[in-house]
Amino acid sequence: MEIQSAEYKGSFVKKEDCPPPMLPEYAFIGRSNVGKSSLINMLCARKGLAHVSNTPGKTQTLNFYLINENWHLVDLPGYGYAKANRKTRKGFAHIITEYLTTRPNLACTFVLIDAYVPPQNLDQEFVNWLGECQIPFVLTYTKTDRLSNTQLNNSLAVIRGKLLESWNELPQEFITSAIRRTGREEVLKFIGQVNKSC
């Protein structure tokens, strides 16, 4: 699948304000500063579509993008919220929980994990929560360009080992780099296949 059009549709803080749940939706989420905006821009081949910030936790709303006029990419707040205050973090958690557990047209959630850092408890906890709620998701490793092939393989083995403490097997995985455009074809092919089954 190729992206022919990508249009920002708006940012929302309440589920009832979001676009009607008529099209398949793919949510993108990860810890703060995981490279989510860069990945979204790379996938959509639109440099400034999603705002890239140097401030972790900048995304504070549900940001909707209409892709090819037949599905939505949804940029969710990070679950690390590095510099947000406690009251704001609690609000983020509510936004994320409400969207992921009640959105009827959510086709899949892309959980972004930074391959450049050691396994994080937040990633493990969030993935486990998705499993408990039976929310479909895939794993998407980011910033892989910062590592050699050997370093990347070692890093992924450690991350997988951490996650497998709670899982018998892991869902589908994607290796990505916004800089090298790694994984773009694979991610879009996956979304195209899921769209056909929706």
| 85 or 82, which is more confident | 85
Is the distance from CB of 24 to CB of 71 less than 8 angstroms?
A: yes
What's the confidence (pLDDT) of residue 86? 56
Residue 88 has pLDDT above 50, yes or no: no
What's the confidence (pLDDT) of residue 52? 62
Residue 198 has pLDDT above 90, yes or no: no
Mean pLDDT of 18-39: 95
> How do residues 126-172 score in pLDDT, each as one tens digit?
999 999 999 999 999 999 999 999 999 999 999 999 999 999 999 99
Q: Is 68 exposed, middle or buried (0-12, 13-18, 19+ CB in 10 A)?
A: middle
Lowest mean pLDDT among 89-98, 107-116, 188-197: 89-98
Q: What is the largest CA-CA distance in the chain?
A: 47
Q: Which CATH architecture has domain 6-197?
A: 3-Layer(aba) Sandwich (3.40)
Q: Where are the domains of the chain?
A: 6-197
Instruction: Please report the beta strands in the chain, taking only residues with DSSP state E, as ranges in sequence order.
Output: 6-12, 25-30, 62-67, 71-75, 106-114, 137-142, 173-175
What's the confidence (pLDDT) of residue 48? 86
What's the confidence (pLDDT) of residue 85? 54
Instruction: Please report the beta strands in 122-172, taking only residues with DSSP state E, as ranges in sequence order.
Output: 137-142
Residue 180 has pLDDT above 80, yes or no: yes
Task: Count CB-CB contacts under 10 A for residue 9.
Answer: 14
